[in-house]
Amino acid sequence: MEWRASHILVKDRTLANHILKQIKSGKDFRTLAKEFSTCPSKSKGGDLGWFGPGQMVREFEEAVKKMTTGRISGLVRTKFGYHIIKKTGQK
């Protein structure tokens, strides 16, 4: 199984919650990723491309596995900070 996802990564939980509220109110995920994310993927709107088991940190991978394609996660905490994940594919 492989998955495709985009994410927004920030260190601060309060900021992550603020961004998540903006997404829920209809703001564009890609635009917010480019503006706020600290991950190099921000230049691609947060797109991480395709990845398989063991390629992402456990908490991130587990969250993506449980998601339906097209959905956006709540906050997912890893050693890197707080992620807001959008699952964009599964094969």
- Token pair 């199984």 is at which residue? 1
Query: Predicted confidence band at 72 (pLDDT cuts at 50, 70, 90)?
Result: very high
The total number of residues written for the chain in this structure: 91
Query: So what's the pLDDT on residue 37?
Result: 98
pLDDT in tens, 76-90: 999 999 999 999 999
16: containing domain: 3-90
Query: How many structural domains comprise the chain?
Result: 1
Question: What CATH number is given to the structural domain containing 78?
Answer: 3.10.50.40
Q: What's this model's pTM, rounded to 2 decimal places?
A: 0.96
Query: Predicted confidence band at 20 (pLDDT cuts at 50, 70, 90)?
Result: very high
Query: So what's the pLDDT on residue 78?
Result: 98
User: Hey, what amino acid is at 52?
Assistant: G
pLDDT in tens, 29-68: 999 999 999 999 999 999 999 999 999 999 999 999 999 9
DSSP count for the chain of H helices, then E strands? 3, 4
Query: So what's the pLDDT on residue 6?
Result: 98
Burial of 87 (0-12, 13-18, 19+ CB in 10 A): buried
- Token pair 């594919």 is at which residue? 89
- Alpha carbon 53 to its chain centroid, in Å, reads 17
